[in-house]
Amino acid sequence: MTKPNEHLVDWLRDAYAIEKQAESMLKAQSSRLEHYPELRQRIDQHLEETLCQQALLEGCLDRLGSSPSAMKDLTGRIAAFGQAVGGMTMTDEVVRGAMRGYVFEQAELASYTALIAAARAVGDAKAVQCCEQMLPQELEMGRWLLDYLPDIVAAYMSRSADGRDDAKR
């Protein structure tokens, strides 16, 4: 038997861990991208959104008497997830990076969708509002990445076929 509030707190912590990992991933991608300026710009924009989302989640957790600490296990799992979706050392780094970013956004979207339902179930209007504020940002970033992915693939393949230095990242 678990109190509904405990689930809400658990899943808020999960969401926070995902956003921390997203921050690492976005920072790494932004610092490495040199020849795909549009992608880098969109990543930088979402990095700012991600930092705001972390603050919102911290506020929710704080209000519910919890904190983002004690999540070593989860953070490890999420880091493995990031690595699994696409390694940075690969020659097609830009393509895999964009796919990884998209998949990450979708994990966040699923997370906030579940959290909104959980917050509604316990009648926590503030948590509902908090998650409803973040969800469209994930949706937009995900949509942007998926829309832009064919262009990235085409550019990468063309540059790579010509042996150009600006193909990889």
According to the binding rule CB under 8 A, does residue 135 interact with a copy of itself?
no
According to the binding rule CB under 8 A, does residue 77 interact with a copy of itself?
yes
User: x/- string (CB under 8 A) for a copy of itself, residues 8-37?
Assistant: --xx--------------------------
> Can you give the three-state secondary structure of the chain, one letter per residue?
CCCHHHHHHHHHHHHHHHHHHHHHHHHHHHHHCCCCHHHHHHHHHHHHHHHHHHHHHHHHHHHCCCCCCCCHHHHHHHHHHHHHHCCCCCCCHHHHHHHHHHHHHHHHHHHHHHHHHHHHHCCCHHHHHHHHHHHHHHHHHHHHHHHHHHHHHHHHHHHHHCCCCCCCC
CA distance 117 to 128: 8
Among the listed residues 2, 37, 72, 125, the single contact to a copy of itself using CB under 8 A: 2
Segment 144-163, which members bind a copy of itself (CB under 8 A)? 146, 149-151, 153-154, 156-158, 160-163
Segment 85-124, which members bind a copy of itself (CB under 8 A)? 85, 87, 91-92, 95, 98-99, 102-103, 106-107, 109-111, 113-114, 116-118, 120-122
Instruction: Point out which residues bind a copy of itself (CB under 8 A).
Output: 1-4, 7, 10-11, 77-78, 80-81, 83-85, 87, 91-92, 95, 98-99, 102-103, 106-107, 109-111, 113-114, 116-118, 120-122, 142, 146, 149-151, 153-154, 156-158, 160-163
